[in-house]
Structure 1
Amino acid sequence: MSFLYVLAVEPASEVLTKEPIVPFVILLIVILVVPIIFERLQLPGLVGLLLAGVLLGPNVLNLFQTEQPTIRLLSNIGLVYLMFVAGLEVDMEQFRQTRNKSLGFGTFTFLVPLIVGTLVGRIFGFGWNASILIGSLFASHTLLAYPIISRLGVINNEAVTVTIGATIFTDIGALLVLAVCVAIHAGEFTALGLTTLLGSLFLYSAAVLIGFDWAGKEFFRRSGDEEGKQFLFVLLAVFLAAVGAQLIGVEKIVGAFLAGLAVNDVVGEGPVKEKVVFVGSVLFIPIFFVDLGLLINIPAFVASISNIWLTLAIVIGLISSKFIAAFLAKLMYRYNWLETLTMWSLSIPQVGATLAATLVGYRAGLLNEGMLNSVIVLMLVTATLGPLLTNRVAVGLMTSTVSVTPDASKPLYLDTTDTEKPLTVVVPVYNPDTEQYLIEMAALIARQAQGRLVPLAIATTRPAHMDAPQLESAMAKADALLDKATALSHDLGVTAESVLRIDDAIALGITRASREQNANLIVMGWGKRTGFRARLFGNVIDSVLWASHCPVAVTRLLESPTKIQRILVPVQNFTPEALRPLRFALLLATAIGAQVTLLNVCDRRIKPSSIAWNKSNIELLLSKLALPQAPVVEVVPHENVAQAITTAAKNYDLVILRSIQRRTSAGGLAISDLTSQLVAQLSGSIVLLGEPQKSNAAVIREQFLQRSNRTKLER
């Protein structure tokens, strides 16, 4: 009753101020519902979060104030997380391949926009310090179109790799300029003070990049596969780096970005990175964008837009300066126009570092409200224009990527001609309804490769409860499943060696038994990803995909594999890894006498002559591989890849897809990949072929053992 009385007497804003849990609950509702609504309307979820902040802020409903302790804390965490994810998403391996050229283009795309932005600031009456900060906002860029170039298969193009590598230089340079400008604005600043700051920043950066990298590798090596501890270590690293940056007098986002670069190699592409990025993407980073919306004053925003010249100068200055930088790279490195335009389009979007630096400059008093509003418009324009241009121009680079790579002619993982050991297929059986089709699929592959089949059943229990009645029941059920699997295998003419394993977790039992059996392939039944817990902690299939040492075929079979006559294999790029599902399909097709079609979806604007040329190149590539039979090649022009594959799949009995982990934009918001779209849309039989993901701990242990062995040999 007292709570109802308070609600009746006191304004809602005062209640929200007194109860910190209430704004947190409202924020959870907003970040859960609003992006879904806007994505249904074909609008970016970021826009919805910004508008939600405007509505909840002091200028409309007045439910939230940006200075509320809860909002301030969560927004600061989101700001730090945003820059950490930006550093974490940089592909260090690609950067190392083109480091010198990335430095060259990074210099161009940093200095030219910095000069143009500074001139814009001076023209509109800003002081030198604020103008240089505005220039630094132009200098960075966000790889928002990474999923597009990944889907088109042009990541290995040198111009694309150089642009990706340049992100490191532009973001670090922009953050350094921000640190210096904010420090100068904070008080009287002398040459000695500037020298001291730069020296401290250099030592601090070296300590983070080298120290955190070493500490991370040692911790991951010693902690083994304990993902919980590794997750906490990464969180400690990012916030410790943020606090360290503030101690030397620079902004915490500088430390967060450096921490992302430092632990980049440590976390790799493993499950720890997926969980770290996931927590930021679904919780903290969206709250940061809501808080950014709280700062937008609608009357002032409209007034700044009505005074359009500043906004136009910022947008045009950014786009033109990025084009000049790409053109200079064209002259220096002799890129063609398609590569130049791709570099330009990739460097246009301004989201992560730009928004973070703008908010810091605004809170420090360097930038006014009009500049904040103009930068928000800049973000909306460039975040839309950049990916659209990339999708239009990068498709032309595909013609140069259809070629035989040095590794393309080597036997792939289902070709056992390079080893004396027979192919071993492990089939976990746990669902009587899907067991028959699973065993048939695995038996056909094993028989065709003259290998062996290992039906596997897992009975779970706690280590200290080996006499539990539940374990007895689980073992009896497992024995029944294994007996049925052995009988089915015998009918199909394949030798089966059943294995019953007692373990404390199903996924660990599967991966451990597969390793013990030296399996070449794991065939599993479908498991739907549902619920918050499944997304955060992963289900059995996710865990097996991450931990397995060999490929995993996740199947959803609506009919017996022996009845399959037509198999469709969509392939976007033609690397050895991308062609592995084709090898799997051909091995299965040879066993049952089916026909395999390789489908490549190209841009609908490509001329018919170019389509025919691409098709002939693909057929030439396939003719040079040791394939058991030649697949039919189809090249289909379409504006929507997922829709084209879904339409074509209606005429086939089975679709085989390659499982690729989801990437996120540098803003941290998840972007669904092509495979996840297809899984949701396809209604027929599917095989999702996942490649083994070597764990970070395993990589670090291997490196440690190699160093130890070298040391012993030297001694």
Structure 2
Amino acid sequence: MAFVLYLVLILVFTKVAGDLAVRLGQPAVLGKLIVGVILGPAVLGWIPSDSSFIHEMSEIGVLLLMFIAGLETDLDQLRRNWKSALAVAVGGIILPFLGGFAVAEVFGFPHNYALFMGVIFSATSVSISAQVLKDMNKLNSREGTTILGAAVVDDVLVVILLAVMMSLLGTGADVSLGLLIGKKVLFFAVIIVAGWLLVPRFMKIFAPLRVTEATMSAALIICFGFAYFADIMGMAGIIGSFAAGIAISQTSFKHTVEKKLEPIAYSIFVPVFFVSIGLNVSFEGVGQQIVFLIVLSLVAIVSKWIGGGLGARLTGFNNHSSIAIGAGMISRGEVALIIAATGLEAGLLQPEYFTSVIIMVILTTLVAPPLLKYLFREPSVVKED
């Protein structure tokens, strides 16, 4: 029954910490992320980082979080900003990749390790940013939809970049780039067709069933089904759940699903996800790499911020909006954690530097919420030149 105690600790501490963060003028999610660090091995050690129960609950949490983001996304706004989303994603990959490679080279890493560090820097996870934007009612702003769209493109490009690097560096010689890209194309083709033709029909057939919460069950089937399909096609599951949310948002069931889903997600699953990010922190051996960690984190933050911001500026956003969009891309979150673990297993990330990389990922995730809170509270964020 240890997992029940973990849930009690997570729910109590995240709600109290979230309230405290809001009272201090910060987004609630910042307090929840810090709770993970405090409850985990880094400080108190009350919750282990290797708990399979916490991991699986957090997986559901992030899927529901991005499903809600999809439900609340303005699809027309997303269509209008696809060029900006592409530019932000590309800028947010090129500059961080060069930054990560440069840092590793300066600290004497062999070339293959330096290249992989660039891949880790290129990752983006906007699940945290999406929560902050939602709390501030900015998710449907032009900036918000650009950030969400850029995250989808970023995920595709980084997965391809990872496969190319692993193939070139000899740890994945059997990786077929053509097959990889083909799977991505097939994924989007199937998701678009399913979202357009099958989702509305499925909801209409399933919702009238004379059982408890048939509509919600139908929505969750679509959410998790899309997420699983994304995973087997080599994409992040959050892209599938985000697409599921967009598909259901185009039906008459949108408001019903949204109203009933939020209590489920935010009462238990999403708090577990926020805490799980912090549980990965461990300060063991970091004292000997403190300079490396500081440089690594600063370059990770600045390169993604500038890279994403430049992409936005070049596609018509004003300076303030560009800075805000760049800030929304800073968080590496669970995507970078997965890439780092993959690199460690494949021999492309030195074990002695794994902890420093994980702390860098956590720091980028902690920095993003207060930056977004500050930048998006400015009225000029919604104006254009």
Deviation at 1:232, TM superposition (A): 0.9
The 8 Å contact of residues 179 and 250 in structure 1, kept in 2 or not, is answered as yes
Deviation at 1:133, TM superposition (A): 4.0
Equivalents in 2 of 1:84, 1:128: separation in Å? 33
Matched residue, 1:362? 340
Does residue 27 (structure 1) correspond to residue 10 (structure 2)? The answer is yes
The 8 Å contact of residues 297 and 363 in structure 2, kept in 1 or not, is answered as yes
Q: Counterpart of 1:314 in structure 2: which amino acid?
A: A
Matched residue, 1:107? 86
Percent of counterpart pairs with the same letter?
21
Matched residue, 1:641? none
From 310, 325, 328, give the equivalent of 1:349.
328
Between the two proteins, the alignment pairs up a number of residues equal to 361
The 8 Å contact of residues 32 and 275 in structure 2, kept in 1 or not, is answered as yes
Equivalents in 1 of 2:191, 2:324: separation in Å? 32
Deviation at 1:237, TM superposition (A): 1.4
Deviation at 1:149, TM superposition (A): 7.0
Does residue 134 (structure 1) correspond to residue 121 (structure 2)? The answer is yes
SS at match of 1:263: helix
Q: 1:72 to 1:132 in 2, by over 3 A?
A: closer
SS at match of 1:124: helix
The 8 Å contact of residues 82 and 149 in structure 2, kept in 1 or not, is answered as yes
Matched residue, 1:239? 224
Matched residue, 2:177? 194
Matched residue, 1:228? 213
From 121, 137, 156, give the equivalent of 2:100.
121
SS at match of 2:65: helix
Question: Which structure carries more strand by proportion?
Answer: 1
Q: 1:149 to 1:306 in 2, by over 3 A?
A: same
- Map 1:559-598; keep pairs closer than 5 Å: none
The 8 Å contact of residues 81 and 256 in structure 1, kept in 2 or not, is answered as yes
The 8 Å contact of residues 121 and 134 in structure 1, kept in 2 or not, is answered as yes
Q: Counterpart of 1:174 in structure 2: which amino acid?
A: D
From 259, 266, 271, give the equivalent of 2:251.
266
- Map 1:306-455; keep pairs closer than 5 Å: 306-307=291-292, 308-330=294-316, 339-350=318-329, 354-365=332-343, 368-394=354-380, 397=383
The 8 Å contact of residues 210 and 262 in structure 1, kept in 2 or not, is answered as no
Q: 1:75 to 1:95 in 2, by over 3 A?
A: closer
Q: Counterpart of 1:84 in structure 2: which amino acid?
A: F
Matched residue, 2:107? none
From 31, 45, 55, give the equivalent of 1:62.
45
Matched residue, 1:171? 151
Equivalents in 2 of 1:81, 1:146: separation in Å? 14
Unmatched runs of 5 consecutive residues or more in structure 2:
105-112
Matched residue, 1:475? none
Deviation at 1:250, TM superposition (A): 3.9
Equivalents in 2 of 1:141, 1:76: separation in Å? 14
Q: 1:228 to 1:303 in 2, by over 3 A?
A: farther
TM-score norm. by structure 2 comes to 0.79
Deviation at 1:219, TM superposition (A): 3.1
Unmatched runs of 5 consecutive residues or more in structure 1:
1-17, 401-715
Equivalents in 1 of 2:77, 2:326: separation in Å? 17
SS at match of 1:298: coil
Deviation at 1:43, TM superposition (A): 3.8
Q: Counterpart of 2:68 in structure 1: which amino acid?
A: V
Query: Which structure has more RCO (C-alpha within 8 Å, separation ≥ 6)?
Result: 2
Question: Which structure carries more helix by proportion?
Answer: 2
Matched residue, 1:74? 57
Query: Alpha-carbon deviations, 1:253-302, whole Å to 9, x = none?
Result: 33333323333323665121122233223321210121111111135566
Deviation at 1:92, TM superposition (A): 0.8
Equivalents in 2 of 1:139, 1:29: separation in Å? 25
- Map 1:398-547; keep pairs closer than 5 Å: none
Equivalents in 1 of 2:213, 2:39: separation in Å? 35
Q: 1:45 to 1:387 in 2, by over 3 A?
A: closer
SS at match of 1:67: coil
Query: Alpha-carbon deviations, 1:140-176, whole Å to 9, x = none?
Result: 994544665769xxx7xxxx53x34433541221111
Deviation at 1:116, TM superposition (A): 0.5
The 8 Å contact of residues 227 and 241 in structure 2, kept in 1 or not, is answered as yes
Equivalents in 2 of 1:381, 1:238: separation in Å? 29
Deviation at 1:312, TM superposition (A): 1.6
TM-score norm. by structure 1 comes to 0.45
Matched residue, 2:283? 298
Matched residue, 1:284? 269
Does residue 52 (structure 1) correspond to residue 52 (structure 2)? The answer is no
Q: 1:365 to 1:83 in 2, by over 3 A?
A: farther
Matched residue, 1:87? 70
Q: 1:231 to 1:314 in 2, by over 3 A?
A: same
Deviation at 1:361, TM superposition (A): 1.7
Q: Counterpart of 1:264 in structure 2: which amino acid?
A: S
The 8 Å contact of residues 345 and 387 in structure 1, kept in 2 or not, is answered as no
The 8 Å contact of residues 80 and 256 in structure 1, kept in 2 or not, is answered as yes
Deviation at 1:182, TM superposition (A): 5.2
Equivalents in 2 of 1:62, 1:396: separation in Å? 43
Q: CA RMSD in A?
A: 3.4
Matched residue, 1:462? none
Deviation at 1:239, TM superposition (A): 1.5
Q: 1:310 to 1:385 in 2, by over 3 A?
A: same
Equivalents in 2 of 1:58, 1:141: separation in Å? 22
